[in-house]
Every structure is written in structure tokens, then in C-alpha cells.
Amino acid sequence: MGRRAFLGASLFLLGGISFLRRRQALPETTFRSVLFDNPEFVRALGAEVRKSHPQLVGAQRSPARLPDLLRAHSGAIEHDFEKGNLLSIDGWLVSVTEARICAAV
């Protein structure tokens, strides 16, 4: 590979990486709380919901991913906060819908 080709390929690669990073940084259209970024925390929260609020737990675990579930139920979560449908799980104030989701995944 000649020097010119190498520089061209490098620039193309850097541009591509930069573009992809930029795409990743674009804001999500649906809000998802930072609280659910940590999988370990979500697992612990789910376990606590199953233990202290069994009535919120469905019969089957959901095969869907947590971010998808949170996105799909973002309207219900907002509604919970508007209406005060909240629970304290290990001190964290979460919406009832969020608690159900954490218990299901």
C-alpha cells in the first residue's frame, strides 16, 4: 500500500469511527433514567420487588431487554410519577411500572 492510500484509508477509518461515535451520542428519543444503567442494581431492585411486593410480579419473566421494556412503558412511567404511583425500594423512589419491569427481567 502506498503512502497516499494509507493516509486515505486512515482518514476514512477515523471519519467512520467519529461518525459512529456521534450517532451513539445522539440523545435517545425516549427518556430512560440513569438509575437503570447498572444491571447489578436492576437485578437487586427486581429481587427486592419480588420479595417485598409479590403482587407486582407477573407469572413469567419477560424475555425482552430492560431498555426496551422501559422505552415501551415510558408513558406509563411518566403517568405513575404524575399520579404518585410510586414505591420505595431500598429507599429508591421508583414508579410502580418500573418496579414491575425490574421484577420481570
Partner 1 sequence: MIRDSAQVTQDVRCDVCIIGSGPAGLAVALELRKAGKDICVLESGGLEYEADTQDLYAGASVGWDTPLPLDGSRMRYFGGSSNCWAGMCGILDEIDFIPRHWVAHSGWPISKAELLPFYRRAADLLGVTQPIEAGTFAGNGSLAELDLDRKKLETKYLYGAAIWRVGNEYRETLSRATTIDLILHANLTELKVNAAGTSVVHAQARSLSGKAFKVIAKRFVLACGGIENARILLYSNSVMKTGVGNGYDLVGRFLMDHPLVPMASLLPERGDTRVPAYNSSTLITRKSNPLFACVTFSEQFQRDNQVLNSAVYLIDHDEEFGEGLQASVRIRRSYLQGTWPENLGTDLWTILRNVGEVAPAVYDRLTKNRAVRRRLAVKLQAEQAPNRNSRVLLSDDRDQLGLRRAQVSWQISKEDRTSGEKLVKLFAAELGRIKAARVQLDHWVSQAEPLFPDDLRGGEHHIGTTRMANDPRTGVVNTHCRIHATDNLYVAGSSVFPTSSWVNPTFTICALAIRLADHLKQQG
- CB nearer to partner 1: pick between 2 and 84: 84
Interface residues with partner 1 (CB under 8 A)?
27, 31, 33-35, 78, 81-82, 84, 86, 88, 90-95
SS3 assignment for the chain: CCHHHHHHHHHHHHHHHHHHHHHHHCCCCCCCCHHHCCHHHHHHHHHHHHHHCHHHCCCCCCCCCHHHHHHHCHHHHHHHHHHCCEEEECCEEEEHHHHHHHHHC
- CB nearer to partner 1: pick between 56 and 86: 86
Q: Shortest approach of partner 1 to residue 4 CB, angstroms?
A: 36
Q: Shortest approach of partner 1 to residue 84 CB, angstroms?
A: 6
Question: Distance between CA atoms of 69 and 60, rounded to whole angstroms?
Answer: 15
Q: Shortest approach of partner 1 to residue 92 CB, angstroms?
A: 5
- CB nearer to partner 1: pick between 10 and 33: 33
- CB nearer to partner 1: pick between 14 and 93: 93
